[in-house]
């Protein structure tokens, strides 16, 4: 299981199988390789590890892939015990947080 944080350090949620869930176990989307798609089929970014933590980052100036057909939401697993928030990171130049703003 991978835990996902926002770039401001807040705990967003977790990956179970190839699906992304919020900290409360709500379905947020799915993964295809390292590409992350929102529950409505919109491209959200790339799963990126930095400093031992996982983030979903999106290139600001890149053309987004064509949206995908939304998938049937899976059964939500029991959410794990939430992990602590972490120190914010400086987003790499040209990237933004895929689930913030």
Q: For a pLDDT cut of 70, what percent of the chain falls above it?
A: 99
pTM equals 0.93
Query: Over the stretch 40-92, which tens digit does the pLDDT of each residue have?
Result: 999 999 999 999 999 999 999 999 999 999 999 999 999 999 899 999 999 99
From CA 68, how far away is CA 56, in angstroms rounded? Answer: 18
Report the range of poorest mean pLDDT among 8-12, 64-68, 69-73, 97-101.
97-101
Classify 97 as helix, strand or coil.
strand
Contact (CB, 8 A) for 7 and 88: yes
79 phi and psi, to 5 degrees? -65, 145
């Amino acid at each position: 299981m991978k835990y996902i944080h926002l770039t401001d350090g807040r705990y967003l949620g977790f990956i179970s199988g190839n699906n992304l869930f919020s900290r409360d176990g709500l379905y947020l989307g799915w993964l295809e390789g390292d590409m992350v798609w929102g529950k409505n089929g919109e491209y959200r970014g790339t799963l990126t590890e930095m400093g031992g933590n996982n983030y979903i980052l999106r290139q600001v100036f890149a053309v987004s892939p064509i949206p995908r057909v939304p998938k049937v939401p899976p059964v939500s697993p029991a959410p794990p015990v939430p992990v602590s928030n972490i120190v914010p990171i400086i987003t790499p130049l040209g990237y933004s947080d895929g689930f913030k703003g």
